Amino acid sequence: MSGEQSEANSIQLDEMSLDQLQQLRQQEEGRLQGLTQRYAQLRAAAARISASSRAVTELEEAPDDSQVLVPLTDSLYVPGKLKPKNKLLVELGTGYYVEKTSTETQEFLDRKARLVQANTDNVTQVIQATQRNVQAIVSAMQGKLLEIRARQEGMRHRAAVEGQSA
């Protein structure tokens, strides 16, 4: 049944005009660009999660009352001391925070890392399928151009033959 569905959902590139193929190629290339941007966002999220996980690990190893620099902005820090290292404030998203232990924070980060990796894998598969689509469209366009050139050559040849016989 899935084979029947994929046949019904597939586009017959050979039946499309050159203009339709060009439009379809542009559409697929736009889709590919969006997917590539999404992939980059997911990789950046994975890097942030990994950095957070390393920071939690380093925090666990730091002695009590350690001196640290606390970021107020991306470029502004103030000195601080670590007090209760076992209580971390974790952003859940959209401005919601919750207090967690180091172990709970690591588990949370591990879950997020797995989720981001699964999404990255899915986007990678879609990118590869879209690239194959673009290649198939370009192939069909090249075939159409060859047909047009062959038709034009045939018409020139026919005109030359008719010109000689007249």
> Helix, strand, or coil here: 75?
coil
pLDDT number for residue 8: 38
Residues 141, 22 contacting (CB under 8 angstroms)? yes
CA atoms of 51 and 65, how far apart (whole Å):
22
Residues 19, 68 contacting (CB under 8 angstroms)? no
pLDDT number for residue 156: 85
Residues 97, 89 contacting (CB under 8 angstroms)? yes
C-alpha distance from residue 22 to each of 68, 134, 138 (Å): 58, 10, 8
C-alpha distance from residue 12 to each of 15, 16, 53, 73, 136 (Å): 6, 7, 49, 54, 11
HSE of 68, CA atoms in CB hemisphere, 13 A: 15
pLDDT number for residue 1: 41
Helix 102-165 to helix 18-61 angle (10° resolution) is 160
Averaged over successive runs of 10 residues, the pLDDT of the chain (166 residues) comes to 45 86 95 97 97 92 85 92 83 91 95 98 97 94 90 85 73
Closest listed residue to residue 142, CA positions, set 13, 52, 2? 13
Note the pTM of the prediction, 2 decimals. Answer: 0.75
pLDDT number for residue 3: 44
pLDDT number for residue 11: 76
pLDDT number for residue 166: 59
